[in-house]
């Protein structure tokens, strides 16, 4: 039993080496088993097969690195041990945070039904996890006693500012959005020339489901549009739903000059008044709430029809309240009702561009001669 291990100038007896091996195994086996079981549970709770494979690969690699580093700790001393400990923390902290966040996200997906709430909660957890990992790594590698924190902070700050100007501006825009809440997930907005429904608000970008474009009446195009958060400082933001749940919409109807436009106006108005009582009451309540913060004043909330003389006839424009995302469907419902109602009236006709010969001598208000008689048919 005279075998020994040479370590520099000293010799380690076989019993001490055996004790180190057993200690290493005692560290490696529990760490590998714990992370392996947790990764198995996490992968099973994930629905997508591709995501499961990726998570298993990441967790397996992290398990080997963490367990291997922890196993090597009893074999090193001095500065090497301190460096190895920092390496261990650098792998263990992100891995632990990843597992905790992944478990929390899976739980949220199972127990929170509202899509907007689920998305915001998931993103908040991810951001918190990233912040925890960043602070931990900063503490391990930068904020040590032997490091001049002021010098490091100055150099890092200057480098980051020069290299990431646009990203810093986007990050500042995200902070402004979180504080002032100009829009939220689910709101319908227009940012510059882009219109859409907000589907995600990231740290650097806002994602919209585009509406309009080549599709009429602000219907969805199916495209996703990514807008940098720096737009908050340079572009106008139009929010269709923040503050008020309803907007004003207009529906033009053109009838001939010979039609009874008074009757047509009343028919259109009657259809518009159906079912608007609840909308008007909600709108009045919202106006009272918003008037406490801003100078907002609406006095006439009932539907109204404005007549106007047009080239081809009398233009009757209906103005009414509707939900922003039901702008097209509400106009379609009213149009169908108006078409059916006008079809039953003998003194109301739709107008459209036509060519007509007008003889003032015989058809004017001051006509003195009877109109020429039509030749008899053969």
pLDDT of 318-372, one tens digit each? 998 888 888 888 889 999 999 999 999 889 999 888 777 777 777 766 666 555 5
How large is the average pLDDT for residues 164-169?
74
Residue 27 included in any domain: yes
- Answer yes or no: do 57 and 195 share one domain: no
Tell which wins on pLDDT, 299 or 162. 299
Q: Report the domain count for the chain.
A: 3
Residue 371 included in any domain: no
pLDDT digits (tens, 9 = 90+) for 127-150: 787 877 777 777 766 665 555 556
pLDDT digits (tens, 9 = 90+) for 60-101: 666 666 666 666 666 665 566 666 667 767 777 777 777 777
> What six digits make up the tokens of 69?
């580093």
**Could you tell me the CATH number of the domain that includes residue 196?**
2.30.30.60
- Answer yes or no: do 214 and 80 share one domain: no
Instruction: Answer whether residue 234 shows pLDDT above 80.
Output: yes
Q: What CA–CA distance (Å, rounded) separates 118 from 241?
A: 20
**pLDDT value at residue 251:** 93
- Answer yes or no: do 131 and 231 share one domain: no
pLDDT confidence tier of residue 53, bands split at 50, 70 and 90: low
Greatest CA separation for the chain: 141
Domain that residue 31 falls in: 4-152
Instruction: Answer whether residue 232 shows pLDDT above 70.
Output: yes
> What DSSP letter does each residue of 256-292 carry, written as one string?
-TTS-HHHHHHHHHHHHHTT-HHHHHHHHHHHHHHHT
**pLDDT value at residue 377:** 55
Is residue 206 a contact partner of residue 200, using CB atoms and an 8 Å limit?
yes
**pLDDT value at residue 3:** 42
CB burial string 292-321: b at 16+ within 10 A, e below: eeeeeeeeebebebeeeeeeebbbbebebb
To the nearest whole number, what is the mean pLDDT of the chain?
A: 75
How large is the average pLDDT for residues 159-176?
74
- Answer yes or no: do 205 and 258 share one domain: no
- Answer yes or no: do 204 and 325 share one domain: no
Instruction: Answer whether residue 7 shows pLDDT above 90.
Output: no
Residue 69 included in any domain: yes
- Answer yes or no: do 253 and 217 share one domain: no
Instruction: Answer whether residue 220 shows pLDDT above 50.
Output: yes
Instruction: Answer whether residue 6 shows pLDDT above 60.
Output: no
Q: At 200, which helix (H) or strand (E)?
A: strand 194-201
- Answer yes or no: do 287 and 305 share one domain: yes
Residue 325 included in any domain: yes
**pLDDT value at residue 129:** 78
Residue 216 included in any domain: yes
Last residue of a domain, one of 98, 117, 152: 152
- Answer yes or no: do 203 and 267 share one domain: no
Give this prediction's pTM.
Answer: 0.55
- Answer yes or no: do 70 and 128 share one domain: yes
- Answer yes or no: do 22 and 107 share one domain: yes
Residue 212 included in any domain: yes
Residue 14 included in any domain: yes
Residue 305 included in any domain: yes
- Answer yes or no: do 303 and 180 share one domain: no
**pLDDT value at residue 292:** 62
pLDDT digits (tens, 9 = 90+) for 263-314: 999 999 999 888 676 677 777 777 766 666 666 666 677 889 999 998 889 9
Tell which wins on pLDDT, 307 or 240. 307
- Answer yes or no: do 228 and 109 share one domain: no
């Amino acid at each position: 039993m005279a075998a020994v291990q040479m370590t520099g100038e000293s010799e380690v007896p076989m019993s001490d080496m055996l004790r180190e091996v057993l200690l290493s195994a005692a560290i490696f086996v529990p760490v590998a088993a714990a992370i392996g079981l947790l990764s198995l549970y996490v992968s099973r709770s994930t629905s997508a097969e591709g995501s499961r494979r990726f998570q298993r690969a990441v967790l397996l690699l992290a398990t080997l690195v963490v367990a291997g580093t922890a196993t090597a700790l009893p074999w090193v001393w001095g500065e090497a041990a301190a460096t190895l400990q920092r390496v261990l923390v650098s792998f263990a902290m992100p891995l632990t945070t990843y597992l905790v966040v992944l478990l929390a996200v899976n739980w949220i997906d199972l127990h929170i039904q509202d899509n907007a709430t689920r998305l915001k909660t998931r993103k908040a957890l991810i951001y918190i996890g990233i912040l925890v990992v960043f602070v931990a790594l900063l503490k391990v590698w930068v904020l040590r006693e032997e490091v001049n924190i002021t010098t490091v902070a100055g150099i890092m700050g200057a480098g980051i500012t020069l290299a990431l100007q646009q990203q810093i501006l986007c990050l500042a825009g995200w902070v402004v959005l979180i504080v002032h809440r100009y829009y939220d997930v689910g709101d319908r907005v227009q940012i510059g020339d882009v219109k859409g429904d907000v589907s995600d608000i990231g740290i650097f970008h806002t994602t919209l489901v585009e509406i309009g474009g080549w599709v009429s009446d602000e219907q969805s195009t199916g495209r996703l549009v990514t807008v940098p958060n720096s737009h908050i400082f340079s572009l106008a933001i139009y929010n269709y739903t923040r503050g008020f749940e309803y907007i004003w919409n207009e529906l033009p109807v053109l009838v001939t000059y010979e039609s009874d436009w008074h009757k047509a106006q009343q028919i259109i108005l009657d259809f518009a008044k159906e079912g608007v009582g609840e909308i008007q009451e909600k709108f009045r309540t919202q106006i009272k709430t918003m008037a406490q913060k801003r100078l907002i004043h609406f006095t006439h909330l009932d539907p109204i029809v404005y007549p106007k003389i047009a080239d081809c006839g009398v233009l009757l424009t209906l103005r009414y309240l509707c939900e922003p995302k039901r702008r097209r469907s509400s106009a379609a419902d009213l149009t169908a009702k108006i078409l059916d109602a006008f079809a039953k009236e003998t003194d109301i006709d739709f107008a459209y561009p036509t060519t007509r010969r007008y003889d003032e001598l015989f058809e004017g208000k001051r006509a003195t001669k009877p109109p020429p008689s039509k030749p008899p048919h053969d």
